[in-house]
Structures are given as structure tokens and as C-alpha cells.
Amino acid sequence: MEVCCIPAVPFPPASLRYRLHPVLENWSIGRPTKRRCFFAASAGLRHLPKGNHLETQKRMFILGMGFVGEFVAQDLMNQGWAVSGTCTSVAKKEKLDKLGFNVHLFDANEPELEVLNILNQHTHLLVSIPPCLHIGDPMLQHAEVLRRKLNNDCLQWLCYLSTTGIYGDCGGAWVDETYPPNPPNELAKLRLAAEGGWLSLGDDLGVAAHVFRLGGIYGPGRSAIDTIIKGESLSNSQRVRSFKKYTSRVHVADICNALNESIHKPSPGRIYNIVDDDPAPRTEVFSFARKLIGETWMKEVDTNESFSGERSLRGEKRVVNARMKKELGVRLFHPSYRSGLQSISDQVHHYPPSPSPSPSPSWEESLSDV
Ligand SMILES: NC(=O)c1ccc[n+]([C@@H]2O[C@H](COP(=O)([O-])OP(=O)(O)OC[C@H]3O[C@@H](n4cnc5c(N)ncnc54)[C@H](OP(=O)(O)O)[C@@H]3O)[C@@H](O)[C@H]2O)c1
């Protein structure tokens, strides 16, 4: 299998590439001479557009079809985009393939050139792969290869999904994007470096690159409601987080919302906090979730909070989302966890309310806060 540790061949000029690819050469006949990206059926993209549509259809590549990636993929496919993406396991690929996505197995530590050759035929790129300890951003280890592969004038927009965790503990202060980051641990430092790396790559390539600093992500299948229904017990990291007075959250639908707005209003190099209006303690969110579950299923749920007392809560931070609203024009679907959880509760009959293995960890479980 071809991986990028193979010495790189210099990126050929467009004319040479057309000569090397007869199908693409025919496609280029009579077209303007400006370099353009290829779009070959062999690349594995679905919903191939015809004729001039080739140049107008938007194509999103999602590095890391995890919780957010899958929602974004569905949202864009519903809007008529061609969407491709990656995951790391065969089982996950099979699941996503069944949902109609065009998914490639991919290890960012050893990226296959074949997949990068597909990636570089896309107009938009969403990076959802988190950094690894001792490595940093696994893709940016191969920044030179990426720079060469993406230097074909195809990519117009990219967004790196980061986290509000890079601000660290701010003693309960309101923090906007100008607040000095204070990464609290090694992973958060690597995350901050990854933000800079992706913005710099975008700048080098002339691509509008953005960073979205996400609060704790929740949505259908990953929420306080799901955690309670599945009867999951608290992990150590959850216990630690339960002592935070404020946790900024965002419903996955609002991440899609903000991404859509950013795609329509690119702003190269810009960083946005993507959170709701209501940073609230975990205890409050879980109390509300228990109330909703009780109302929905008339079910006795354990309302004992075994993990926290109000007086012991620590400040942390309240994340400001004003830039997202002002510059991107985002109008939140779920300004508070209340409306977000209510919508999940309303939909919950679509997925089993009985304890069952989770396809992905609850956001409280997976939130590494970096
Ligand atoms: N969870 C939160 O509350 C939260 C809050 C703020 C920011 N974030 C960050 O926001 C991003 C999206 O969040 P999410 O909850 O959607 O994350 P997620 O569900 O964990 O998805 C991460 C994706 O990255 C892929 N991945 C991980 N390591 C990889 C590697 N070495 N090579 C290739 N692919 C790799 C995973 O592959 P598989 O699909 O095969 O697992 C998955 O598709 C992540 O970077 C996350 O850290 C999360």
C-alpha cells in the first residue's frame, strides 16, 4: 500500500498531468487554460456531476468521519454536495458505506497517497482528526506532502475543528477569540500548534482556512439524555469535569450551521468560538435531562447527584460566541442546552431508549477538553 513516507515526486505541471490522464485530457478540451482540479470516476467519488457541473459542484472531504463529521456529511449530502471522508476501522467504514457515504480507510500517521489523490479533487476540506500525544497533529507530520498534493488550485476552503479547551481555566471569565490561550496540558498545547499549522498551510496554498474552537459537543446519540438512558457510570475524567462551574457546549446541528455560514462567507485565517449562549454546570444539564426523561417515559430516574455539590464548583470559563454571530451571521438552533436536549428528547423515539451499546461515547465522556 502506497504511503507518504515514499519519497515524494515533484508535483507535475498541469499540462503534464493532462497528458498523463487521457480522460482528463479530453475533459480539458476547449476549457480555459487556468489550472483546475481533476475529477475522475476512478477517484471513487459518488454522484459525479456531468459537463460544466464538474466545475461548479462543491465537494467536501472530511478527514475523520466521527460524530461531527458524519452529521456534516449528511447535512451537505442533503444539500446536493458530493461528500467523501475517512475513518480508521473496517467496521465503521461498512456502517458509513451503508449510509451512502463515500468513505476511505485512512491512518493519518501513514497517509496513503491514493487517498490524498482523492482529497485533492475536493473543493472543501474539514479536518476533524484530533492531535495525538507525543506526535501532534498526525496529518501535519506530513505537511510537505500535503502542501504538494493540495497545490492544484482545487481546494478553496478548509476548516480545522479545534476546542475551547486551549483557553485553559480562566477562573470563570468570559473569553473571546482574542483571549490569550493557556493550554492546560500537553495535548492542549499540541492542539494549539495544530491550529497554527492548518492556518499556515491554508495561507501557503491560498486557501481560505478557518479554525473552529468547539465547546463540548452533544447531539442525538451523544448527550446527557443518552448517558442517563444507557446507565453509564461516571469516568474519572467526567468526575473531574463535574466540578466545573461553567462548561460551554454546542449542539452538533449548530456546528453544521456555522460551517454552512463559513462556507458562504469565507474569512481566511479567522478563528471562531463555536458554542451556545448558555455555559452551564454539568449538574444543571443532567438535572434537566432527568426531568425530560421522566416526562417522556414517565419513568423513575435516579436524581441523586453523586458527583458534585454546588459549593465545590470551579470557575473554568464562559466562552463568547459574538464573532460567530456577527461575522458568520449564525443564528443558533439551540442557544441553550435546554432546547438542544428538548429536541433530542423529542427525537429519542427514533433510537432505542433502552440501555444499549453506544456507537460513540457520550460527549461528556469524549470531551477531552483540549
Ligand atoms: N467531543 C467533544 O466534546 C469535543 C469538543 C471540542 C472539540 N472536539 C474535537 O472536535 C473534533 C470533532 O469531534 P468529534 O466528537 O466528532 O470527534 P470523534 O467522533 O472522535 O471523531 C474523530 C475522527 O478522527 C478520526 N481519527 C482519529 N485519529 C485518527 C488517526 N490517527 N488517523 C485517521 N483518523 C483518525 C476518527 O476515526 P474513526 O471514525 O475511525 O474513529 C474519527 O473519525 C475532534 O478533533 C475532537 O477532538 C471534540
Ligand 1 midpoint to CA 223 (Å) = 16
Ligand 1 pocket test: pick from 61, 84, 106, 163 the residue with the most ligand atoms within 8 Å of its Cβ. Answer: 163
* Distance separating alpha carbons of residues 100 and 94, to the nearest angstrom: 10
How wide is the angle at C-alpha 82 spanned by C-alphas 81 and 86, nearest 5°? Answer: 125
pLDDT level of residue 289 (50, 70, 90 thresholds): very high
1 burial level (CB within 10 Å; 0-12, 13-18, 19+): exposed
Residue range 92-129, pLDDT digits in tens: 999 999 998 999 999 999 999 999 999 999 999 999 99
Ligand 1 midpoint to CA 100 (Å) = 20
Residue 185 in contact with ligand 1 by CB distance below 6 A:
no
Ligand 1 midpoint to CA 130 (Å) = 5
Residue range 128-142, pLDDT digits in tens: 999 999 999 999 999
**Local structure of residue 269 (DSSP, 8 states):** T
- Annotate 199-254 with DSSP letters as a single string: HHHHHHHT-EEEEEEE-EEEBTTBSHHHHHHTTPPPPHHHHHHTTEEEB-EEEHHH
Residue 217 in contact with ligand 1 by CB distance below 6 A:
yes
* Distance separating alpha carbons of residues 151 and 297, to the nearest angstrom: 55
pLDDT over 90 (residue 2):
no
Residue 366 in contact with ligand 1 by CB distance below 6 A:
yes
pLDDT level of residue 26 (50, 70, 90 thresholds): very low
- Identify the residue with better confidence: 311 or 189: 189
Residue range 54-87, pLDDT digits in tens: 556 899 999 999 999 999 999 999 999 999 999 9
**Local structure of residue 133 (DSSP, 8 states):** T
> What pLDDT is stored for residue 255 in this prediction?
98
